[in-house]
Structure 1
Amino acid sequence: MSTVAITFADELRARSDEDLATVFKLRPDLVTPVPNDFSALAARASSTPSLVRALDSLNLWHYQIVEATCALPEPFKKSELVAVTSEETAFVLDHLWQMGLLYKEGNNFRTPTNLKLLIGEEPAGLGPISVKKFDFATLKQIPKASEEVLAKLTWGPPRGQIANIKKPGNAIGWLLENNVLVAIDSHTVALPREIAIKLRGGKIHKEIISTAANLKGKKVDQKQVDLAAVANISTILRWCEELLHNLSDEPPTALRTGGLGVRDLKRIAEHLGVDEACAGFVAELCYLGGLVVVDSDDQILPTSAFDIWLSKSAEERWFSLVVLWLDTSRASGLIGKATDKNIAPLGPELDRAGVSLIRRTTLKVLLDNPQISPEITSMQEIIKWWNPQRANNEFVEWNLREAEWLGITGQGVISTFGLNLLTEKEDLGIQSAMPKPVDHILIQADNSAVAPGPLTPELASEMGTIADIESRGGATVYRFSEGSIRRGLDHGKTGDQIKTFLSKISKTPMPQPLEYLIADVAKRHGRLRVGTAHSYIRCEDEGLVQQILHDKKCEHLRLRKIAPQVLVTEFELTEVIGELREYGYLPAAENAGGVLLSQPNLRRAKSRPKPPRIISEFSAPKDAIVLSAVKTIRAGERSRKVEPIVAGTSSNETLALINQYISEGKTLMISYADNNGGVSNRIIDPISISLGTLTARDEASDEIVQFRIPRINGVAPTLTVLGNKADLDL
């Protein structure tokens, strides 16, 4: 008796509602949007993008079994698969079936064609299927020289190169003559799949790895972990603030391709006191949070969201950035790599598929191994087991480094704050663990000042304007210099205001050298003024004008004297000011009326925040969504079956039938025209008619919907059309 081969759609149609719900839970991309019927579901489930996502979710054990299924001729029995793998394969086979990576044909199994294409022509390093029947007794007669050739091909790769197929040599020649090897072309031979499996002892893999290795590392006391983590949290928040204030003070120009240039990144790294990789990560973190944007004039500036962010508590600020880092598909570790010189922070080239998946897996391993600071090679080996398709050793290393910078870990171990974050606790415990901010500094005799703890946001912002950070730690050391005082004057402050501010917040008296420095810079600041003519330079001190005019360092500005106190140049205002400051002069800008201009305290982008797109990983849908999807696809399948049967009815017949079915409480099938003129069949439970509108519950969406009576082309009861309702679910 012959059996008719069923399709993937037929097999899905025959599954129970519970089994369909499991498919949607294990492969959430199939729910978005819900397919119209089982043919559409089968097409999507066997499509390459969906299969790639499904394979990404498999661990190494499951992936090895998928390789084995693709290596066997179809259809195959469960016993055949177990024979070439292991006894435990039965559990994995059921899971793969529930995922829709396999489907049943009676007691046998098949795999979607696209799955075979994704796994490749050489699953588990096995060669092509032999087209000739082979006598395995031949393997006992193989000469020793030929055995050495087979040993190289048995475990893959199954193909070998030779100089000339017509003169293969004795060892390979014997194998070709006896069909142990097959010729692919004039220079390539291959070991057929069946023979390789026989040589492997009847198994497809050397070893079926059913469990991940144990994490290796040193044990660290949790108290020490949390102390290190809270210091990291405090530091990352300070880095973000300093970066954004610096971009406000000296906004860089974005590259043509978008992103932050190499020189600007280096300058920012020096300002933060970190390496360029860390500075790039901080910039990316702010970019993710919408705190910085490339403005319409190509300047990279903080957004107004930065001011709102500053007003929040430390825990809220940290949480708002970390949750975005968990899900982002951008790999900031690529910034500044020697092999990727053109990849810049804030640029478009940082997206990598699977980054978020590896990041989540890395943190899960840390969660499962509390108080263990992992060895990097051990962690990489475990991630390789969990995500064989996406595992990347560099990504694992970068994720661990970034988790430490963020304070999710401390000394490499998951912190209490990271644990609370990943387990979605309402109170992360950060606010109570953070050191209390201080409202004073200690000015030293060497033009430096020490903040004995984190300063309040207001004081930190003011100090960042008039002083440079020299070192960080439990205490922060600030350094006053000519450049830092000039920066404060550029922000509209006077020398007296700076002295008054420092005297007010310092617990130690202001040393005389610092007073002299502030007074001297304030006196010199603005003596030289720069405007636009394109640009002009004017100064009441004619000697200083002459000095600049004859300064060889300024020759490239092509200055021209048009009056005893005025020079002009074709260069832009900002460029002239920057060059003169670099050469030791202290110019200030003025407007066309000669009024001295001060830079605003806050420079913000005019553009709205533009956080980067995320190559998202689909999350498991909620039960209500899954149940609705199952119901929708069943209803869609019933509608498809009866599509040609719903006959047209006149308006009067339509109203009469609907009223009749409302009174009898029957389920209806209607043919309904949408706004675009398309006609579809809908299964509904009618409720009432009012003002030319039918109110009914749509079985597909389980929602109350209103249908315009003139758009209903035909009406029929589902029982009359479909017969036994039990048949619909098959």
Structure 2
Amino acid sequence: MEIRSYADYLRGLDDAALISMFNFRPDLVTPVPPDMASLAVRASSAPSLARAVDALNKWQLQVLEVCAVLAEPFTEKEVAALTDKSALFVIPGLIDRGLIYQDKDGLRTPTTLKEVLGNEVAGLGPASMSKLKLKKLDEVPAASKKVLDAMVWGPPRGSIADIKKPSAGVAWLLEEGFLIPFNQQTVVLPREVAIYLRGNKVHRELENTQPPVTGSKRDNRNVQLAAIANITTFLRWTEEVLNFWAQEPATALRSGGLGVRDLKELSLHLGVDESCTAFVAEVAYLSGLLTIDPDDKILPTHQFDIWLTQNASTKWQFLASAWLTTSRLSGLVGKEGSKNVAPLGPELDRSSAATTRRLVLTLLQENSDVAVDVESLFATAQWLAPAKRAGGLQKDYVLWTLREAEWLGITGQGVLSSYGADFLEGGDSATIDTDLPKAVDHILIQSDNTAIAPGPLEHEVAQELALIADVESRGGATVFRFSEGSIRRGLDHGRTGEEISKFLAKTSKTPMPQPLEYLIADVAKKHGKLRVGNTASFIRCEDATLITQILGDKRLDILGLRKIAPEVLICGHDAAEAMNILRSCGYLPAAEDSRGLLLSGPRIQRAQTKARPPRIIGEIDKPDEIQIEGALRALRTGEKSSRKQSTMRNIATEALGSLPRTTANETLELLSDYLQNQPAKSLSIGYADNNGLVSHRIIDPLKLSAGSLIARDHATGEVQTFRIARITGVAAL
């Protein structure tokens, strides 16, 4: 067939060529267009072409830029002349992607492609409207040569004082047509002149080979040990963050996300810097283990309780999978120039985040025998993805990916670990369970009110110890410290002094020192003597001396205390605030309810709503083979239907001057006749919708039922019901 347009070219492609194009450009069939004309419109649209260009490597992009600057139609020979003979192997791939197409005269590009590549492709200006004598450039005056040298490699625009009074060098170039006046102060270098001066090349350097990734060797055993240590640490961080917020939930900012003060507090609790803390919180949020309640409280979800019961490999895969696919970048938190960016907030989405992450991990897979050099890795990534939108491939994104992969244990000492390789290949990473250090069920209490856990603790022991002790240092062994505040926290969670002492005596391999026994007994004795509840609130104490002491304490003036009975004080603050202020001044109050019952039970909180992980903003997923074949069938059917409808419209216009017209009785008779005598024949009908608008339909009638026609609509390929009363007429095709 004669190719007159891009749509005609697509109509002429066979199934294999269309399937190849859909594999390269999945957005073309998401959703499936109704016919080839719609496919052509989508394939030549700026957003679709931009995605296709982003998927090209540096060499493919250079060849495409040469195609864009050549006058159409152009030939493969012309492309090779401006680049290299190896470009001939690139052109078929560009044709497969629909970025170049063949017509009867030669090769062409979709109209919008030049807009996508930019107005000055490869630093070249517009083509000259007149024929130029380029040989004169070999004898150009010195002053003019200086002007050309400044503009030859771009940008092709130059500023002058006044176009009417140019310098001698500029005047000669304007006279010969080697410069084009753009406005009163701007001149432009024509494309032909620049290419001639570049030695009949478009690019200064042809980047037709992928730069190598370099790096240094690492001992494989040390890599695996580092990776499993990172996995253990990250799982512990996640659990600690969620347990911390289960006891003391943070409040989200009005704009969404975690405030600076809460981030610092959490960072201090974990003992890591704020960037790492933000990443741990983000991964938990992405995984649905954490959510922001309608009352703006940041709380763990019930999914966290399920996650705790799973084995380590399943836990880790759950977190790593959420990180791999997300479009959010926690590295933006705290970055210079990102003042309003907060963890869990709405400002962290970047459309290229997931593709950049996948690109970096693919390069780590291909170079898994070395710890890659960051500069060489970035150079290779830039060659593979040179045309990324929003300013090109960001080096920060690459660095953050490497850093986060190390935190997660996908890499160890900068080298892809066996766990990371298995994860990226879709494995279950089950070796994590066997390689993790065995959990221990005991601690070693020291004489200075500290305890050493000689390895990762069993879950029950770790949970109990977290209530009554604070982590002082982490590493292969974790050091916990017992203090008045930590013991009080355990008492607030319903433990008694006797229960705490029994737990420590049972769990410790060393005897419990006497100072720790005295500390527990002393705090337990004081705990609950002073009680706080809500009136807005009240303070009650059976010890009149303590009441007098509190009333006389100048530090508590902020509470505005008033004595209403020998043992009762009231204040304008709520119970929680009053307790915090009393504790900060050295008192040990406990909470009680309106009936006077001591509230000292577990305060592990969970979100009452389902997790709402953030959406993923990114590229369209590549459809599988079945989806592509289904899209192709729908497209072919739609094209056939569109062609038949066009033919039918021409027939109707010529014969009737309008849509088919028959009365309801005639319509019923004709349909009955076709169903009995010509059941395999397609019909054209006019059909009115709910708004009274009549459209042509191509149908295969199946049967009549209760005043309706059941038929297969060619446009959708589905069986539909058409009411006889709405059919304006029937005609044979």
Taking structure 1 as the reference length, the TM-score comes to: 0.91
SS at match of 2:610: coil
2:295 to 277, 294, 297: 297
Q: 1:520 to 1:121 in 2, by over 3 A?
A: same
Q: 1:557 to 1:197 in 2, by over 3 A?
A: farther
Contact 2:709 2:724 in 1 (8 A): no
SS at match of 2:209: coil
Q: 1:526 to 1:700 in 2, by over 3 A?
A: same
Q: CA deviation at 1:115?
A: 2.0
Q: CA deviation at 1:713?
A: 4.3
CA distance in 1, matches of 2:644, 2:373: 62
Please show how residues 392-407 of structure 1 align to structure 2 within 5 Å: 392-407=394-409
Please show how residues 443-592 of structure 1 align to structure 2 within 5 Å: 443-592=445-594
Amino acid at match of 2:71: P
Q: Hey, what does 1:310 align to over in structure 2?
A: 308
Q: 1:15 to 1:589 in 2, by over 3 A?
A: same
1:554-602 CA distances to partner (integer Å, 9 max, x unpaired)?
A: 3444444444444333333322222332333222222222222235342
Q: CA deviation at 1:77?
A: 2.3
Amino acid at match of 2:252: A
2:186 to 182, 185, 188: 188
Contact 1:529 1:589 in 2 (8 A): yes
CA distance in 1, matches of 2:683, 2:470: 75
Q: CA deviation at 1:692?
A: 8.3
Q: Does 2:39 match 1:41? A: yes
1:442 to 417, 422, 444: 444
2:434 to 432, 435, 452: 432
CA distance in 1, matches of 2:370, 2:640: 55
1:91 to 89, 92, 108: 89
Contact 1:628 1:701 in 2 (8 A): no
Amino acid at match of 1:31: V
Q: 1:132 to 1:549 in 2, by over 3 A?
A: farther
SS at match of 1:650: helix
Amino acid at match of 1:45: A
Q: Hey, what does 1:230 align to over in structure 2?
A: 228
Please show how residues 212-361 of structure 1 align to structure 2 within 5 Å: 212-361=210-359
Q: Hey, what does 2:20 align to over in structure 1?
A: 22
Q: 1:41 to 1:522 in 2, by over 3 A?
A: same
Q: 1:312 to 1:83 in 2, by over 3 A?
A: same
How many residues align? The count is 713
CA distance in 2, matches of 1:134, 1:484: 86
Contact 1:537 1:568 in 2 (8 A): yes
Q: 1:501 to 1:107 in 2, by over 3 A?
A: farther
Moved more, 241-250 or 481-490: 481-490
Q: Hey, what does 1:9 align to over in structure 2?
A: 7
SS at match of 2:85: coil
1:153 to 151, 154, 164: 151
Q: 1:439 to 1:659 in 2, by over 3 A?
A: farther
CA distance in 2, matches of 1:102, 1:327: 32
Q: 1:224 to 1:154 in 2, by over 3 A?
A: same
Q: CA deviation at 1:406?
A: 0.8
CA distance in 2, matches of 1:675, 1:31: 28
CA distance in 1, matches of 2:14, 2:205: 35
Contact 1:355 1:395 in 2 (8 A): yes
Amino acid at match of 2:576: T
Q: CA deviation at 1:105?
A: 2.3
CA distance in 2, matches of 1:153, 1:132: 20
Contact 2:410 2:416 in 1 (8 A): yes
Moved more, 241-250 or 597-606: 597-606
Stretches of structure 1 that go unaligned for 5 or more consecutive residues are: 722-730
1:657 to 667, 670, 674: 674
Contact 1:127 1:191 in 2 (8 A): yes
Q: 1:451 to 1:169 in 2, by over 3 A?
A: same
Q: CA deviation at 1:700?
A: 7.0
Q: 1:707 to 1:4 in 2, by over 3 A?
A: closer
Q: 1:187 to 1:590 in 2, by over 3 A?
A: farther
CA distance in 2, matches of 1:445, 1:204: 77
1:630-685 CA distances to partner (integer Å, 9 max, x unpaired)?
A: 111111111112226285662343244234445xxx36356596986787777777
Q: CA deviation at 1:476?
A: 1.8
Q: CA deviation at 1:513?
A: 1.5
1:668 to 666, 682, 690: 682
Contact 2:675 2:702 in 1 (8 A): no
Q: Hey, what does 1:727 align to over in structure 2?
A: none
Contact 1:674 1:711 in 2 (8 A): no
Q: Hey, what does 2:65 align to over in structure 1?
A: 67
Please show how residues 406-425 of structure 1 align to structure 2 within 5 Å: 406-425=408-427
Q: Hey, what does 1:724 align to over in structure 2?
A: none
Q: Hey, what does 1:125 align to over in structure 2?
A: 123
CA distance in 1, matches of 2:275, 2:313: 25
Moved more, 10-19 or 134-143: 134-143
Moved more, 298-307 or 627-636: 627-636
Contact 1:695 1:706 in 2 (8 A): yes
Q: 1:684 to 1:458 in 2, by over 3 A?
A: farther
Q: 1:559 to 1:164 in 2, by over 3 A?
A: farther
Q: Hey, what does 1:608 align to over in structure 2?
A: 610
SS at match of 2:539: strand
Q: 1:676 to 1:41 in 2, by over 3 A?
A: farther
Q: Percent identity?
A: 50
CA distance in 1, matches of 2:531, 2:168: 90
Contact 1:420 1:427 in 2 (8 A): yes
Contact 1:633 1:700 in 2 (8 A): no
1:515-549 CA distances to partner (integer Å, 9 max, x unpaired)?
A: 11111222222222222232233333344344444
CA distance in 2, matches of 1:627, 1:686: 26
SS at match of 1:326: helix
SS at match of 2:299: strand
Amino acid at match of 2:570: V
SS at match of 1:184: strand
Task: Indicate the RMSD between aligned Cα atoms, in angstroms.
Answer: 2.7
1:82-127 CA distances to partner (integer Å, 9 max, x unpaired)?
A: 2212212222222122112222222422222322112111111112
Contact 1:654 1:715 in 2 (8 A): no
SS at match of 1:201: coil
Q: Hey, what does 1:110 align to over in structure 2?
A: 108
Amino acid at match of 1:617: E
Q: 1:538 to 1:81 in 2, by over 3 A?
A: same
SS at match of 1:76: coil
Amino acid at match of 2:492: D
Q: CA deviation at 1:183?
A: 2.9
SS at match of 2:228: helix
Contact 2:641 2:715 in 1 (8 A): no
Moved more, 630-639 or 693-702: 693-702
Taking structure 2 as the reference length, the TM-score comes to: 0.91
1:78 to 76, 88, 103: 76
Q: 1:531 to 1:651 in 2, by over 3 A?
A: same
Amino acid at match of 1:61: W
Q: 1:543 to 1:625 in 2, by over 3 A?
A: same
Q: CA deviation at 1:697?
A: 7.4
CA distance in 1, matches of 2:636, 2:118: 34
Q: Hey, what does 1:728 align to over in structure 2?
A: none
1:202 to 186, 193, 200: 200
CA distance in 2, matches of 1:253, 1:407: 30
